[in-house]
Structure 1
Amino acid sequence: MSNLTNESCINFGSSKYNIALGLRSGLSFLSCGFIFCMLLIILLFKKYKFFSQRLLLYLALSCMLNLLTAGLNLYGTKAYNTTSSFITIYCKVAGFSEQITIWWTIMATFCIVIALFIKAVCGRTTSQFEFGYVLIIFVFPLIFSWIPFYYDAYGPDDMFCWIREVNLSDCNNYFKIGMILRYTLYYVPLTLLMLLLVALYIPAVIIAHKKKSRWSGNFDPEAIAIRRMIAMEIRPLIYYPLIVLVINVFPLLKQLYATINDATSSEHDGLNHNLTTYFTLSVISYVIYPFQGVLVTLAFTLDPETRKLLTWKRFVAAFLQTCCCRSRGIVRSYSIVHGRSDSLNYGSTSRDRAAVTQDESCDPDGLHMKLNWE
């Protein structure tokens, strides 16, 4: 059978398809490069010693894998009624990869919000449950992401590959099982999870702000501990859930429009939504979604604790120290500062407490420095 790349299989013509797909793929690779730079900074400056830093590491890894998968997901239209087994298998693997990496990013955001909420409301860390967080982020999505394979539901979805919504033999008819799987495995749980994240995120930010303003004494040990906790554990995590939540709103809006429009159409057995509006929403979604990597990296680099490290001298010193090229020639001065919130009797682990005295209090330049708690 010949490939069908007309409007009976995709919702807009080939020229619009090429523009939209090119934007999605190119921006995904660009954004992936930003995330790679973020991971490089984390590696060079050893910004993975504390629980909150490792949560950001898990988010960055998930986001980079998701963007890399999106950039390589290019064979959607070619997979319609193709005779090539390679394209068929590639499309199914790409669809599964997109599904699993999207959920890795979402679950990493969920874990950050949970950690923020408990830290702000209870003043305690959940670092002792870090292994559980890892299972939630990377293992839990595997429990349900394989289900579309059972129904042969992974396949072409307009421009790229995901859970298909049309029958490959007749592109004018819905693939009902695929539509059910889309909603049960993605849209419905994503919507409910986003509502839950908002319900936890807003109180956490408000309570953290109130605690910081309430405990304003300069010599009260409890006030100092609260301010340090907010500065070092809550503030750096605040912006990431907001970025992921906003980015994921646009795919939901596109699907909501298609669902409502099709439900109110006079013909219930076809893809009847307005192509111009649907294409516009699709382009907005495909352009904005890859920018999550750029925004996450900017939020990371603009944090004061990270920004002060981003100088050429410190990069060179950190690179030499990491690569052991001049490890003996670098003079270091250590200033042991106890005060990181993971070591302030907020349920911290011995692993996090040991890290304070080892790496976080030394300047890669060998310059004596003190942690900036404020």
Structure 2
Amino acid sequence: MILSLSLAAFFDSIAYVMGEVLADGVLCNFQAWWLTYFDWCSLAWVCCITLNLYLNLVKETRTDRFELMYHIVAWGVPFILSCLPLFGDYYGPAGAWCWITDSHVAWRFGIWYIPLFILIFLMTMCYFRIIYVAKERVLTWSGTYDPERERSKVLLAEEIKPLKWYPCVYLAVSVFPLINRLHNAFYPSEPVFVLTLLHVLTAPLHGLANSIVFGLDKETWSQLSLTSLKLAVHSRFCDTTVIKEYQPGMVRYTAQLDEDNSDSGDDTTVLFYSPDMTLKDRGP
């Protein structure tokens, strides 16, 4: 899930470095769609990470079966949302980048800023609940010592520490763009250079901020060795282990030792013998 978040942030950053301000047209619409889509993908993966952690810790539910659903939601819903302004031709020059134009302010807030801060608020509430439950379980005595349960408590507590910062990342990098867009909505003909500058500096920082959060988890660095990566890829894509019924090889019964063949190096395994049978000597 963090890998998918990183990919979304990487493609999101491409639109921010496309170059000069574009005139209204196909390329401008494409840049606006690209920004909207991958901004939403990044936010959707942060929401999925939060939901996954909530289900694991609070609901104690295994979420392996939800993997496909996460991908459908995190890549599919943003595609629908990013295409909606195309139908009304709402994309166009909007400051430093092409996005929803100044004449469609309601669409700006309806399609991005209002859902963004609602989701950030909900994720913050989720993490408060997760942290509370984690602390309660660490302090709870269940009567008998279960090493696996105690180990699970410690691992979940360690996992919460870096993941709880992902919503904070989105809040931090979205504050100045929100303030600038609010100012543009109330004073469309009076842009403020400082607000525009802060907007330009902070909006493209999703990927950098996510990488800093990822680096806070010291355990992840031990998993980035070549051996760990190979094992992860193998277990994810190449694990075809099948449990089958054991089929024994040839069984040789000998009633009398053959001295000439005692050192022949025959690897036939003797599995059964009877009192009137002499097993072949295999050496010390």
* TM-score normalised according to structure 2 size: 0.71
1:213: Cα distance to partner?
4.4
Match of 1:248 in 2: 174
CA distance in 1 between counterparts of 2:165 and 2:144 reads 27
Spell out the pairing of 1:148-187 with structure 2 (5 A cutoff).
Answer: 148-165=85-102, 175=103, 178-187=104-113
| Residue 226 of structure 1, aligned match among 153, 162, 185 | 153
| Residue 74 of structure 2, aligned match among 113, 116, 137 | 137
Match of 1:62 in 2: 8
Contact 1:254 1:281 in 2 (8 A): yes
Structure 2, unmatched stretches of 5+, are: 241-284
CA distance in 2 between counterparts of 1:141 and 1:183 reads 15
CA distance in 1 between counterparts of 2:202 and 2:135 reads 30
Structure 1, unmatched stretches of 5+, are: 1-54, 81-87, 166-174, 263-270, 323-349, 356-374
Match of 1:13 in 2: none
Question: Would you say how many aligned residue pairs link Structure 1 and Structure 2?
Answer: 235
Match of 1:359 in 2: none
Spell out the pairing of 1:255-274 with structure 2 (5 A cutoff).
Answer: 255-259=181-185, 261-262=186-187, 271-273=188-190
Which amino acid is 2:153 matched to? I
Distance change in 2, residues 1:287/1:218 (3 Å): farther
Spell out the pairing of 1:183-332 with structure 2 (5 A cutoff).
Answer: 183-214=109-140, 219-221=145-147, 222-231=149-158, 233-259=159-185, 261-262=186-187, 271-273=188-190, 275=191, 278-308=192-222, 314=225
| Residue 111 of structure 1, aligned match among 43, 48, 54 | 48
1:200: Cα distance to partner?
1.6
Distance change in 2, residues 1:119/1:131 (3 Å): same
Distance change in 2, residues 1:142/1:308 (3 Å): closer
Which amino acid is 2:152 matched to? A
The percent identity for this pair of structures is 26
CA distance in 2 between counterparts of 1:194 and 1:114 reads 12
Deviation track 1:191-219 (CA, whole Å, cap 9, x = no partner) reads 22222222222222332234334469994
Contact 1:216 1:223 in 2 (8 A): no
Distance change in 2, residues 1:116/1:318 (3 Å): closer
Contact 1:121 1:204 in 2 (8 A): yes
Contact 2:93 2:99 in 1 (8 A): yes
- The alignment's C-alpha RMSD in Å is 3.0
Contact 1:75 1:161 in 2 (8 A): no
| Residue 71 of structure 1, aligned match among 17, 20, 44 | 17
Contact 1:156 1:162 in 2 (8 A): yes
Match of 2:57 in 1: 120
Which amino acid is 1:144 matched to? L
Which amino acid is 2:2 matched to? L
Q: Tell which structure's C-alpha radius of gyration is larger.
A: 2
Distance change in 2, residues 1:242/1:206 (3 Å): farther
* TM-score normalised according to structure 1 size: 0.56
1:97 to 2:24 alignment: no
- State the structure with bigger RCO (CA 8 A, min sep 6), 1 or 2: 1
Deviation track 1:287-308 (CA, whole Å, cap 9, x = no partner) reads 1232322221122233122233
CA distance in 2 between counterparts of 1:192 and 1:227 reads 31
CA distance in 1 between counterparts of 2:182 and 2:85 reads 21
Match of 2:84 in 1: 147
Contact 1:79 1:156 in 2 (8 A): yes
